[in-house]
């Protein structure tokens, strides 16, 4: 069966083109979560699904479902999917590739008149990156009733509109979040399958077009870390009197590099990144000791225990190094999320590689153990 049914790759090429055309802003794409960009992407996918004769429905939070009806309509279904929002100036394929792949699989099955045992759906998930609301997984978390209702007050970063008002404006309903009500029952899902572009360089480096993911790194992030010392004259203040925020921050980050190396040498999976690091541009100067830095420390790994241990080491080091430099290193709160994606305008994915992944997805769906 799998040999005769081929994924609808012409559909993929035209969908990627339509998505890029509708949402490209400058170099990257902008599919703002619960905004015009994400909606445009949903509209494109929905019309393509309907043109292919597939069932479509949208839940109260705007997640789109495209379904090929199975023989047993009440049996737990297989869901393929991914998100259709992007980060600001994101790439065309992060998220969209998974939705498009699912659609190509369903379209191919439908054209070949394959009737699966159970329903097979594609879920185009809302606001997964959710970069505009600073809380990830709004669509999927909301669908499973897992969101804290307080999130409805979170304001969209560019216009200050609350999530609740934004949902309302888009024609969706905040009530399920308020009631922590499930829109999707886990018992009704036989399997969830997702194709996603790789974030890291491994597949390219090793020459594989596609591969099965063995794990996704979780993330603990000190999002709003701050080191506070005292501004002073670079020539006049000797070491014993300095409270140099830059020197302390560098010492702290260097120490975390040695922590990373140690865990790595012990064979643990771990990556540490300080992707943002700045002095205050209104206050800093070439002949000033910096009195403040702000930075982010992003800790990722396959093991929650490793990340927890590293976060604890970061807190201890912040206290110790802060005291040594007479500054406060304040790691603020910790955000926990499991994020993935390539997140830049230069995302590259060849349609040939996409085809390998999509064929694998099709074979999996066609041969799924029931």
Considering beta carbons, is residue 40 or 84 the nearer one to Zn ion? Answer: 84
Binding segment toward Zn ion, per CB under 5 A, in 31-39, 49-57, 88-96, 145-153 = 88-96
Phi, psi at 275, each rounded to 5°: -80, -15
Considering beta carbons, is residue 59 or 128 the nearer one to Zn ion? Answer: 128
Considering beta carbons, is residue 85 or 244 the nearer one to Zn ion? Answer: 85
Identified binder of Zn ion from the candidate list 94, 244, 313, 339, rule CB under 5 A: 94
Identified binder of Zn ion from the candidate list 7, 28, 91, 95, rule CB under 5 A: 95
Residue 225 CB, shortest distance to Zn ion, in Å, is 25
Residue 98 CB, shortest distance to Zn ion, in Å, is 8
Considering beta carbons, is residue 271 or 312 the nearer one to Zn ion? Answer: 271
Number of residues that bind Zn ion (CB under 5 A): 3
Decide: is 341 part of the binding site for Zn ion (CB under 5 A): yes
Angle at 296 between CA 290 and CA 300, to 5 degrees: 150
Please, what's the b/e burial string for 79-111 (b: 16 or more CB within 10 A of its CB; e: otherwise)? bbbbbbbbbbebbbbbbbbbbbbbbbbbbbbbe
Phi, psi at 5, each rounded to 5°: -95, 125
Strands 120-125 and 77-83: parallel
Considering beta carbons, is residue 23 or 249 the nearer one to Zn ion? Answer: 23
Binding segment toward Zn ion, per CB under 5 A, in 86-94, 198-206, 289-297, 307-315 = 86-94
Give me the residue whose beta carbon is nearest to Zn ion: 341
First to last CA, the chain: 16
Decide: is 198 part of the binding site for Zn ion (CB under 5 A): no
> Cα–Cα distance between 87 and 67 in angstroms, integer?
27
Nearest to 219 by CA among 270, 255, 276: 270
| Block residue for tokens 């559909």 | 11
Considering beta carbons, is residue 119 or 198 the nearer one to Zn ion? Answer: 198
What is the contact surface with Zn ion in residues (CB under 5 A)? 94-95, 341
């Amino acid at each position: 069966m799998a040999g005769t049914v081929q994924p609808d790759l012409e559909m993929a090429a035209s969908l990627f083109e339509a998505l890029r055309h509708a949402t490209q802003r400058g170099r990257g794409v902008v599919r703002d979560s619960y905004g015009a960009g994400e909606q445009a992407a949903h509209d494109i996918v929905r019309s393509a699904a309907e043109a292919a004769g597939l069932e479509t429905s949208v839940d109260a939070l705007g997640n789109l479902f495209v379904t090929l009806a199975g023989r047993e309509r009440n049996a737990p279904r297989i869901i393929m999917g991914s998100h259709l929002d992007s980060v600001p100036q994101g790439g065309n394929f992060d998220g969209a590739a998974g939705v498009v792949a699912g659609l190509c699989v369903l379209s191919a099955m439908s054209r070949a008149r394959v009737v699966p045992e159970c329903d097979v759906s594609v879920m185009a998930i809302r606001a997964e990156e959710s970069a505009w609301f600073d809380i990830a997984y709004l669509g999927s978390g909301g669908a499973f009733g897992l969101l804290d209702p307080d999130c409805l007050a979170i304001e969209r970063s560019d216009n200050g509109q609350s999530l609740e008002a934004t949902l309302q404006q888009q024609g969706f309903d905040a009530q399920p979040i308020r009631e922590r009500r499930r829109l999707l029952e886990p018992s009704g899902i036989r399997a969830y399958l997702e194709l996603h572009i790789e974030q890291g360089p491994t597949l390219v480096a090793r020459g594989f077009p596609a591969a099965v993911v063995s794990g996704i790194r979780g993330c603990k992030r000190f999002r709003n870390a701050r080191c506070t010392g005292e501004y002073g004259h670079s020539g006049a203040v000797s070491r014993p009197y300095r409270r140099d925020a830059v020197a302390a921050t560098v010492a702290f980050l260097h120490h975390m590099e040695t922590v990373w190396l140690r865990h790595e040498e012990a064979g643990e999976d771990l990556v540490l990144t300080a992707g943002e690091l700045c002095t205050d541009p209104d206050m800093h100067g070439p002949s000033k000791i910096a009195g403040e830095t702000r930075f982010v420390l992003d800790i990722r790994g396959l093991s929650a225990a490793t990340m927890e241990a590293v976060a604890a080491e970061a807190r201890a080091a912040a206290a110790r190094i802060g005291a040594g430099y007479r500054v406060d290193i304040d790691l603020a709160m910790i955000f926990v999320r499991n994020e993935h994606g390539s997140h830049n305008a230069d995302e590259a994915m060849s349609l040939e590689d996409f085809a390998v992944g999509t064929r694998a997805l099709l074979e999996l769906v066609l041969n799924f153990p029931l």
